[in-house]
Amino acid sequence: MRYVKIPTERVGVLIGKNGEIKEKIEGYGVKLEIDSKEGEIKIEGEDALKELDAENVVRAIGRGFSPEKALLLFREDYYLEILDMRDWVGKKAEHIKRIAGRIIGKNGRAREIIEETTGAYISVYGHTVAIIGKIEELQMAKKAVEMLLEGANHSTVYRFLEKEKRRRKLEEFGIKF
């Protein structure tokens, strides 16, 4: 049995229209009990691994991902990473807002470039940055986000991403460097 707390404004997304998202999650062998007033979710299942996967799906929805992207976490090759921006800039709301803006970029462009280059998905919600992807995609996206959190120029981050993308492409052809 596992417990997850998500923002109350995300509970409706977790349940879905006519309960369809809740049903999809429960279709993976778990039972969800949702306290919509508190945002507390109880996850029960026969299999501890399925409970853990369901917990990650619920957490991802709570951190702003669409259910479609969050449900990828039921696949064994997808992972979730959540970074707390407060670890870099402290608790002041204006600092969190500023750093979130750097990660999102003008008109969402920075986030879009990171997603397109790495193949991972990024959600900036509240004081967190959540990333869903396969292990290599996730690591690349996480490094790019951390670079932005540490104050790197966007151009530096984009160069890093392009270099990594080229390196991965060459490794696909068996060329190591």
pTM exceeds 0.95 for this model: no
CB 43 within 8 A of CB 53: no
Q: How many whole angstroms separate alpha carbon 157 and alpha carbon 163?
A: 10
- CB neighbours of residue 147 within 10 Å: 16
Could you read off the pLDDT of 73-131 as tens digits, one per residue? Answer: 999 999 999 999 999 999 999 999 999 999 999 999 999 999 999 999 999 999 999 99
What is the fold of 2-74?
Ribosomal Protein S8; Chain: A, domain 1 (3.30.1370)
For the chain, give every domain's residue range.
2-74, 79-172
CB 8 within 8 A of CB 39: yes
Could you read off the pLDDT of 36-58 as tens digits, one per residue? Answer: 899 999 999 999 999 999 999 99
Domain 79-172 matching CATH 1.20.140.10: the answer reads no
Contacts of 10 (CB under 8 A, 6+ apart): 39, 61, 62, 64
Q: Quick one: how far is CA 113 from the chain centroid? A: 16
Return the half-sphere exposure (C-beta side, CA atoms, 13 A cut-off) of residue 57. Answer: 30
